[in-house]
Structure 1
């Protein structure tokens, strides 16, 4: 009897790389250059490799169930691949966002009728990124896992400029750091291994059945009783059995410290909601972030009004305060009437804080296009206004009184005629009080040398070995962000009386105890009408620790004004049973 044995012959794995750069083909792309480095390792494994650019496709507004949309070839490529790699450059661009939205729509429309599995179910996923942030990779992997893709271990390759390497991938001329070599090999090894397993033994979960089962359970469930919250005491030097204050942000802890000096103890009701309880001699009150006026209904109306920058500027303009020229708000770059603009411009989201996705001093349409693409990708509405030249200041009003003013400077070094730029950079990071970039319990952060720093260095024709002349200041960042090492300079005694008067008068619109104004001007000591300066916006919860812990000039005990108000109105706000006011 003749016996036969069969050996399954697997077809070569197919790899599709979708480059989400904002550069259209055939423009040179650093992301593509990094991908080519990875792709060669896939080819060595016998894989078939293809690549496309998301921006080269015109994504439809509506996906046609019958498959008549113009992106059918792209969809068919995605559906036919075994391993799908997405390329990011610096951020999750509008090109990426459109790709994701398209796949989300078409995967829902073309889900398998019986099981509910999407067309990308069982596809192995990976990311190749140039000059981005780790959280962008995490979010991208999560989004594609929700589509049905499988994330293997070590499924990302990243190029991050550093002091040792060039400012972009291609300029490195093949000199990849060990990390890139390692990540490329691990991505290829793991993705090929998982894809091979899935070819022979694919996942077969019935998602429709799982949805029906969980819905049935939910329909039968009864609402659970709410869990009572047990507050946790905030630790002080003589009370070490509670919450470590290092888990609090510096501005919250700075206000608490003044309360502790006055005999108050604190408990945390919710770190997520930043809700606290202050108590002294058996009496106390609840508050959120900062103790305030406790007219909560009115305050919530104030906070609701504050959410949109366009509303803030309109109110300041009504009061006669100097503000930038507004060009309106837009959902997309295509809506912007370019012929009506006067440069330079500032592009920013109409809501948000902490200078996130704010792009100042835009001088060209190309720069504007890039800035708005980032804002669009983050889901924000684009606000355009004129760029105001000058230095950046924060004016603080507490209980309708002038409390202080600080200048906020981007990370910088100042030459001494002896040390190199690298030595000056290292010396600044040895300054007392500078915490880690991601540390919340600090006002000052260590300086960061990143892609922006390299660009500024290159434009100034400097290197890390350049010795700056004595007194020469060189900025390492374009934006003023705490996490990259900003400085805070006290300017309280220099602010012009007319500006102070305007801020105090405006503060009477609101019942909130604290109010901070963002101000740009060339000369703080002169009226804004003379300098062309303007207010950018105001905030109800300004960072009081900038004044208490500034690293240049006199530190101002502004939190005393907050607690002076609390104690002056104790008869109105203090109860023994901690009612919420």
Structure 2
């Protein structure tokens, strides 16, 4: 799915496409004696050091902070006592693996010690390096930067279900997941796990409660497409200040194609914190914005239309 729009754009320009490994989404583009190996939107143009920094969320955080970009307070997990102390000091925390993608092992807005312990256990299933981050309220904004220039932006919202007066919360999630499986070819699914149960419980609900007709309930805290979240194009609403911050971040990280994750109170404002940098962003999520065009422009500037 993510590679296809890039392959289609390349073919439309007369660029030869060689499928290297279909299962891994590896393909090579050939044009005018030049070739570039790609994995979806990740290419040979992204150096190993940029990959290393983006793969380690604590290293990303420190790098951006040292460059004067705004990031939330963060610390590595050492023990429960220290983690609980930080939670009390910051009011609410996010627990996440230092490495990983697609929202795996992340628990958001933790205020109680029992939930903190559960979140750490969940994160440890994905990585031995766990991060505590101060929870920041805001709208979740993914900004795409290609060749260090702002290209597109989407707002990401957490998964929700809507009641019909007959089905339980669990049944509504199952029905939503069936719909998502068909619509996204299996890319998106609301997890049915302890974290989802926690979010539901915080709204004084359980798996077996029946929602009133039209009642909307948020069932995830992470605004991730892969965990059932929704995306809305907001490219035209993003201020020049936020665009410039994303472009600066791409240069600081020395990564030419990147998805920068921001939390902001207002897309038109200049307040923000940067949460993460995704070295292999799904450019298809930003249609109808010209992400595929800009991607191929970057790789093969001679083919610009």
TM-score bracket, shorter-length normalisation: 0.7 to 0.9
1:291–1:566: 8 Å Cα contact kept in structure 2?
A: no
CA separation in 2, counterparts of 1:518 and 1:261? 31
2:218 to 455, 475, 479: 475
The Cα of 1:492 is off from its aligned counterpart by 0.9
2:142–2:260: 8 Å Cα contact kept in structure 1?
A: yes
1:329 to 66, 76, 81: 76
2:143–2:153: 8 Å Cα contact kept in structure 1?
A: yes
1:260 to 11, 16, 37: 11
TM-score (norm. length: structure 1): 0.45
- Within 5 Å, give how 1:132-531 maps onto structure 2: 250-271=1-22, 274-280=25-31, 283-290=33-40, 294-295=44-45, 299-326=47-74, 328-333=75-80, 336=83, 338=85, 341-413=89-161, 419-420=164-165, 422=167, 426=175, 434-436=183-185, 439-440=186-187, 445=188, 452=196, 456=200, 459-460=203-204, 463-464=209-210, 466-468=212-214, 473-528=216-271
The Cα of 1:561 is off from its aligned counterpart by 0.4
Secondary structure of the residue that 2:3 maps to in structure 1? helix
The Cα of 1:432 is off from its aligned counterpart by 10
1:396–1:517: 8 Å Cα contact kept in structure 2?
A: yes
The Cα of 1:489 is off from its aligned counterpart by 0.8
Unmatched 5+ residue regions in structure 2? none
Secondary structure of the residue that 1:434 maps to in structure 2? helix
RMSD between superposed Cα atoms in Å: 3.3
- Cα deviation per residue 1:8-54 (whole Å; 9 max; x = unaligned)? xxxxxxxxxxxxxxxxxxxxxxxxxxxxxxxxxxxxxxxxxxxxxxx
TM-score (norm. length: structure 2): 0.82
2:261–2:275: 8 Å Cα contact kept in structure 1?
A: yes
CA separation in 2, counterparts of 1:352 and 1:413? 26
- Within 5 Å, give how 1:78-157 maps onto structure 2: none
The Cα of 1:307 is off from its aligned counterpart by 2.5
2:283 to 525, 544, 565: 544
Structure 1 residues 270 and 449, CA gap change in structure 2 (3 angstroms): closer
CA separation in 2, counterparts of 1:449 and 1:366? 19
1:313–1:537: 8 Å Cα contact kept in structure 2?
A: yes
CA separation in 1, counterparts of 2:237 and 2:20? 40
Unmatched 5+ residue regions in structure 1? 1-249, 549-554, 571-581
- Cα deviation per residue 1:284-317 (whole Å; 9 max; x = unaligned)? 5131315677556xx1121122222111111211
- Cα deviation per residue 1:90-140 (whole Å; 9 max; x = unaligned)? xxxxxxxxxxxxxxxxxxxxxxxxxxxxxxxxxxxxxxxxxxxxxxxxxxx
The Cα of 1:275 is off from its aligned counterpart by 3.3
CA separation in 1, counterparts of 2:48 and 2:181? 38
The Cα of 1:514 is off from its aligned counterpart by 0.7
Figure out how many residues of one structure are paired with residues of the other and give that number: 295
Please identify which structure carries the higher strand content.
Answer: 2
The Cα of 1:488 is off from its aligned counterpart by 0.8
1:556 to 284, 289, 294: 289
2:50–2:253: 8 Å Cα contact kept in structure 1?
A: yes
1:266–1:276: 8 Å Cα contact kept in structure 2?
A: yes
- Give the structure with higher Rg (CA): 1
Structure 1 residues 483 and 501, CA gap change in structure 2 (3 angstroms): closer
Quote the residue 1:44 is aligned against. none
Task: For CA contacts below 8 A with separation 6 or more, give which structure has more relative contact order.
Answer: 2
In the TM superposition, structure 1's runs of 4+ consecutive aligned residues that sit over 6 Å from their partners are: 448-451
